[in-house]
Every structure is written in structure tokens, then in C-alpha cells.
């Protein structure tokens, strides 16, 4: 069997080959943090995405096969959601935001990104001969892996910006946890799917298209909020 390119290797390879993309991302993140009202909405949006991740794990993976990894993953994603929500206090105190669309940066698009990625994975594994529990498990593994590769890439750049600007918080611990999740999910994907390398490459290309749409919506939302 062709061994799957390590997910973590893939992240660093992409980072090197897409230097211009990374500088664009950095410029945009700098723009976000320079406007406190936008930064607060952005943090709340990432909090929502972590929360959706945690909720998805608990909704789909609570069964007789629930392992220590599943419980740890769900609880760490819930903690990440809380982490980002609490950091809003550093930017604009006493906002007490919920997750309504007007309290998020292009919130509807962020939710759609998640749903469409989930549907894309479901379609990709539809023809595989799997039990119901292995199907939902593999769906969770691929969807979460694609999102966490994206999150790790973005968080690394966001972290650099936060540290350079002395923001008073950083993502070092959170990044270490995300990388741990990726390594564990990678070995489970390889165990369950002999076509994992090809499938993951295809899914990551589809995720890229979905994320570019979300990215554009974030930019549009920033323009709207920045307007006097
Ligand atoms: Fe997370
Ligand atoms: Fe994670």
C-alpha cells in the first residue's frame, strides 16, 4: 500500500509552496486584528467552528465504540470553543456574544462551509462497503481532518501575528493539541480506508474551493463592518 503523505508534512509543504498565499492570509489577519469590532467577531466565528466540531463528534460518535480518543477530541474542541470565546474579553470586554449570525463574521457562510464539506465527504465514501458506525466514524475523520489542516495552517499565521503584536495571548498550546488530533486521525483513516491517500488529496482540493468562498465572504464582511 502506498503510504499516505503525513498530514503534518503536507501542511508544511503547502506552507512552503504557497508563500504568496500565506502572505495574503497574514495581511488579512493583520487587518482583522487592527479593528477590534472585527477581531471580536472573527474570534467568535472561530469559536463557533470549534463548537460545531465538538458537537459533531458527540452527536455522531456516541455509541458502544466510543474510545478515549473520541472523548478527548470532543472535550478539547469544546475547550477550544471556550478559549476563543473568552479571548474576546481581551479585545472588547463585556460583549457577551452568542452565535447569532449578526454576532459572527459571515456566520452563515462559516456554517455552510462546514455543512458542504460534510456532504462532500459523505458523497466520497458513499460507495465504500462499511458498517453504519464505521461510515459515520470515517465521515467524522475525513471532515475533521480537512478542517483541522485548514485550522492549523490559519492558526499558525494568526499566532505569529498575535505574538508579533503582543496581544497577551497565543495559540501555542491549542496548536499542539490540533497537531495531536491530526496525527491520531491520520492513523485511523489509514486503518479504515485503503484508498486514503487519493481520497484525502481529492477532499483537500474540494475543501480548498469551499474555504476560498468562505475567505471571500470574510473579506466582504470586513469591508462592510469597516465602512463608516
Ligand atoms: Fe480545535
Ligand atoms: Fe482538533
Q: Each residue of 3-16: pLDDT tens digit?
A: 455 666 666 566 55
Q: Which grid cell sits at 193?
A: 480506508
Mean pLDDT in residue range 190-200: 95
Contact 104, 48 (CB under 8 A): yes
Is the pLDDT reported for residue 78 higher than 50? Answer: yes
Residue 148 CA to ligand 2 centre (angstroms):
6
Q: Taking ligand 2, which is a single-atom ion, which protein residues have CB atoms under 5 Å away?
A: 148, 178, 181
Mean pLDDT in residue range 172-184: 93
Residue 227 CA to ligand 2 centre (angstroms):
35
Residue 4 CA to ligand 1 centre (angstroms):
23
Residue 76 CA to ligand 1 centre (angstroms):
7
% the chain with pLDDT above 90 = 85
Three-state DSSP class for 11? helix
Quickly list DSSP for 61-83.
Answer: H-STT--HHHHHHHHHHHHHHHH
Q: State pLDDT tens for residues 119-134.
A: 999 999 999 999 999 9
Mean pLDDT in residue range 98-127: 97
Residue 189 CA to ligand 1 centre (angstroms):
19
Length of the chain: 228
Residue 178 CA to ligand 1 centre (angstroms):
6
The ligand with the least distance to the CA atom of 49 is 1
> Closest Cα to residue 67, out of 77, 57, 79?
57
Please identify which residue in the block is written with the cell numbers 508563500: 19
The rounded distance, in Å, linking the Cα atoms of 212 and 161 is 21
Amino acid at each position: 500500500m502506498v503510504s499516505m503523505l503525513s498530514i503534518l508534512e503536507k501542511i508544511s509543504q503547502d506552507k512552503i509552496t504557497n508563500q504568496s498565499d500565506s502572505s495574503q492570509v497574514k495581511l488579512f489577519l493583520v487587518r482583522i486584528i487592527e479593528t477590534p469590532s472585527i477581531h471580536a467577531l472573527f474570534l467568535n466565528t472561530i469559536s463557533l467552528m470549534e463548537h460545531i466540531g465538538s458537537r459533531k463528534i458527540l452527536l455522531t460518535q456516541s455509541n458502544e465504540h466510543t474510545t478515549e480518543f473520541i472523548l478527548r477530541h470532543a472535550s478539547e474542541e469544546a475547550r477550544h470553543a471556550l478559549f476563543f470565546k473568552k479571548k474576546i474579553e481581551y479585545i472588547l470586554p463585556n460583549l457577551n456574544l452568542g452565535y447569532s449570525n449578526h454576532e459572527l463574521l459571515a456566520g452563515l457562510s462559516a456554517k455552510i462551509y462546514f455543512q458542504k464539506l460534510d456532504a462532500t465527504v459523505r458523497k466520497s465514501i458513499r460507495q465504500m462497503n462499511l458498517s453504519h458506525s464505521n461510515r459515520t466514524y470515517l465521515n467524522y475523520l475525513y471532515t475533521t481532518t480537512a478542517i483541522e489542516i485548514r485550522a492549523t495552517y490559519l492558526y499558525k499565521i494568526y499566532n505569529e501575528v498575535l505574538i508579533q503584536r503582543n496581544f497577551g495571548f497565543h495559540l501555542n498550546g491549542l496548536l499542539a493539541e490540533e497537531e495531536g488530533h491530526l496525527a491520531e486521525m491520520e492513523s485511523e483513516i489509514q486503518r479504515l480506508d485503503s484508498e486514503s491517500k487519493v481520497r484525502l488529496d481529492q477532499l483537500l482540493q474540494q475543501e480548498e474551493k469551499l474555504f476560498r468562498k468562505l475567505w471571500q465572504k470574510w473579506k466582504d464582511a470586513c469591508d462592510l463592518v469597516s465602512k463608516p
